[in-house]
Amino acid sequence: MNASSPGDRFDLAVLLDEQTLVLLGRCAAALPARARVRFAEGTSEGAFRALSWVGEDGAGAALAVIRADGLALVRPADLTLVDEEGAARPLPAVGRVELGPSTVLRTLVATAPGALAAAFDFLLGALLDAELGAPSARTRRFLHAFLREISEQGGFVEIFGRPECGGLFVQGWSIHLAAGAAELWIETDDMDRFPGVIGHFARPDLLDQAHGMVGFMLSVRDIDPAAVKRIYFRSTTGYHHLTIVDHPTRFEGADATRHVAEMLPRIEAPVDIRRSFKRICRPRFEGQETVSTLHRPVRAALDCAIRAEGAGIFVTGWMLDPARQVSRVLLKSTGGVYERIDTIWSRLPRPDVSHGFEADSMIGPKLRVGDHGHGFVVFVPQEMRGTRDDERFYVEIVIEDEEAGFLPLAWTQPAATTVIRDMIAGLELDDPAAETMIVRHLAPVMAGGAASPAAADPPAATVEFGALREARVSIVLPAPSLGGDLEVSLARLAGDPDMARAEILVVAPQAGAERAIGRFRRMVEFFRLGGRLLLTAEALGRHEALDLGARQAVAEHVLFLGLNVLPKEAGWIRRLGRELASADRAAAVSPTLIYEDLSIRYAGREPVIGDRDDGLQSAARFQGYSRHWLERQGTSAVGGITSECCLMPRRLFLNVGGFGRDLVGPAFKDDDLSLRLRAAGAQCLWVPGVELYALDDEPADLANDKWTRACRLVDQGRFGRKWRQANVEEGARQ
């Protein structure tokens, strides 16, 4: 940036408010359109915007705006301009600083009348720039006064209408207002601008250069037509205003809609603008399904609608449109929700829909062979505010000519889990489109609606068994039934002296337990074990069962133990307890888990949070290696424990919130608990000297396997973001 020319000078500067200075003067060369302004002392900076032009006398002129905090306390002579390339130059000299903004307008009118419209365009951009913060009331009044003074008469408004769809309709005549999209300023006691559409119609009573005018601004919601003083607009030649005639005609609601419908045949405008006016008149939702009544080859139905509080709305269904006549599909409500969904939904194959309409005389001939992509699934994020009792949600299907059909939403009961399980069971998860659908649409509703918002309900029934002295440890065993692997686990625990002071908590579903309780009682009595059988109304996942058992435990310490984990020798619980008691800040301790072939299943792991939305990657240490690799290893701190076998103080487990209930699947829950323990200042330990067998889990059926994989997709991005944010906040505190 070159140094200022001796002739560069701002003859006038007006302080609009404490942060805004408007300058007007002359310059030999054009000033930079954008620059930073730096104070002479300190590091404070502000923004500089400038408009330069050549006046009628051939001399250069400039209008500029400076916005900076504390600007009212700084002398203009102490300001430096820094362009986008970093070059600096002093701000041109300022003749005088005034407080009356009207002097800017008077000076421009006197010296540059041809630049008034361009000057106002510049001031709008510079003073209303969102990056520079909201303008003050004084700044807004200055802009309004400027527009009021420079605008010329451009027509009249004779009719106002507020149709059923909302917004403001105006009708009258104009000379300069062109048909098409427009930006209109409405002056009341204040002044605001709104996007709108303009159409023309023939008026034989007008001169040739004038035309009938209709306009519509959908975003005008709270302005009373009686309060409107003028409407302003920009043409190719400058700014103009429409004057309101005395006692204009007013239409409200259905009357306004009918009036627009009567005007439609007369409106001349581009096709998209005519559609905007036609949209005002299309049918409105009256609480009934109407898609089936359309005289078009379009049919649709909704299968499921779920409202996830605080997250949004999840909808599944199908839409058959073989002639491609649907222009858009909207999710709306009578309370103002308006979201387009056909641009964001994922489509699903629905051959049943195709087959169901093959014999339909209107739709069947238009069906394409092999085209079954009629299903859809969509999640619409919404900041779910409180709704009125009478608020109704619905899907609106709009045909190309603005005809519309409606599908009311009925909220699905029970909650999302059952519906989404059935949907996932039918997906091919190796298809990238299925993964996208899960992450984009199923994940938010599963995390918001399907994840348990609170701990599991207390047991539906409790059965005590055996004699129990004061328990030193409560062993929580989650079991899908009262036989099979549970019998093997209890048999391997029996005979260990540590069981004399251990409370056994078996968490199992109540369904089917009645027939097995007798055998279970005989078994635990034979093994001389004591504790409680906790029967739940619904089958729980492994982590939910462990969490429930911990909350019901009576001992100071809880031991989480999977049915697939079997002790090799007695005394192992006591050894884990000693390691936990001897280490500083120890929160949880896990032993080494080995497979039947003596290779390592668990020997500690280190959760690593990546930079991408891929959740948390656990670097398992020594997994698959022979156990001999651990012969010289000692007890050490590790990043994560395993809930397959873990001993920890019950109070600490409860203090950190137990296993995460913001996660829908099991994949990340162990590491989530470990990270929360570490965030609380505690350590996780691994004891290589204590070994237990860990058998492979039984293979899950296909549906459950898909559910587990889907849950992992849901959790991975959510979990990675959670802990990356936690790390950022921790770093900021340090």
Q: Mean of the pLDDT values across residues 655-684?
A: 89
> Is 582 a residue whose pLDDT tops 50?
yes
8 A C-beta contact, residue 196 and residue 183: yes
Angle at 729 between CA 725 and CA 730, to 5 degrees: 115
The residue among 15, 5, 4, 11 whose CA lies nearest residue 81 is 4
The confidence score (pLDDT) of residue 447 equals 66
Closest CA to 658 of 400, 513, 455: 455
**Residue 652 banded pLDDT, cuts 50, 70, 90:** very high
| 74 backbone dihedrals φ, ψ, rounded to 5° | -115, 140
Strands 375-381 and 346-348: antiparallel
Q: Is 336 or 225 the better-scoring residue by pLDDT? A: 225
CATH classification number, 291-412, choose in 1.25.40, 3.90.550, 2.40.160, 2.60.40: 2.60.40
Quote the CA–CA distance of 137 and 243 in Å, as a whole number. 25
Q: What is the arithmetic mean of pLDDT over 565-579?
A: 94
pTM exceeds 0.85, yes or no: no
Cα(45)–Cα(56) distance, rounded to whole angstroms?
A: 35
Residue ranges of alpha helices (H) inside 357-476 are: 416-425, 432-437, 443-445
Split at pLDDT 50, 70, 90, the class of 459 is very high
Winning range, highest mean pLDDT, from 87-91, 549-553, 723-727: 549-553
Digit-coded pLDDT (tens) for 632-643: 788 899 999 999
The secondary structure of 480-538 as a DSSP string is SSSSTHHHHHHHHHTT-GGGGGEEEEEEEESTTTTTTHHHHHHHHHHHT--EEEEEESS
Average pLDDT, the chain: 86
Q: CB atoms < 10 A from the CB of 220, how many?
A: 21
Residue 617 is predicted with a pLDDT of 52
Least confident of 316-320, 336-340, 713-717, 728-732: 728-732
pLDDT at 272 > cutoff 50: yes
Contact status, residue 242 vs residue 154, Cβ threshold 8 Å: yes
Q: Greater confidence, 344 or 440?
A: 344
What is the spatial distance between Cα 698 and Cα 302, in angstroms, rounded to a whole number?
Answer: 38
Which H or E run contains 579?
Answer: helix 572-582
Q: Is the pLDDT assigned to residue 24 strictly greater than 80?
A: yes
Q: Does 414 sit behind a cis peptide bond, omega within 30 degrees of 0 on the bond before it?
A: yes
User: Please, which pLDDT band fits residue 593 given cuts at 50, 70 and 90?
Assistant: very high
For 229, residues 6+ apart whose C-beta sits below 8 A from its C-beta are: 187, 188, 244
Residue 160's CB: how many other CB atoms inside 10 A?
Answer: 22
pLDDT at 700: 47
Q: Is the dihedral of CA 284, 288, 289, 293 positive or negative?
A: negative
Token output for 108: 């421009």
Q: Are strands 152-163 and 239-252 parallel, antiparallel or unpaired?
A: parallel
Residue burial 258-285, b: 16+ Cβ < 10 Å; e: rest: ebbeebbeebebeeebbbbbbbbbbeeb
Structural domain spans, the chain:
9-145, 151-281, 291-412, 583-734
pLDDT for residue 388: 62
Report which DSSP code applies to 463: E
Gyration radius from the chain CA atoms: 36
CA–CA gap between residue 282 and residue 285 (Å, rounded): 10
> Residue 665: pLDDT band by 50, 70, 90 thresholds?
confident
CA distance 646 to 557: 10
Single-letter amino acid code for the residue at 65 = V
Half-sphere exposure of 203 (CA within 13 A, CB side): 19
More confident: 298 or 538: 298
Q: Is 90 exceeded by the pLDDT of residue 483?
A: no
Q: In the structure, what pLDDT confidence band is assigned to residue 253 with cuts at 50, 70 and 90?
A: very high
545: nearest Cα among 679, 455, 626: 455
CB 375 within 8 A of CB 353: yes
- Dig out the tokens for 2 from the structure: 């070159």
Residue 484 above 60 pLDDT?
yes
Residues 232/241, Cβ–Cβ less than 8 Å: yes
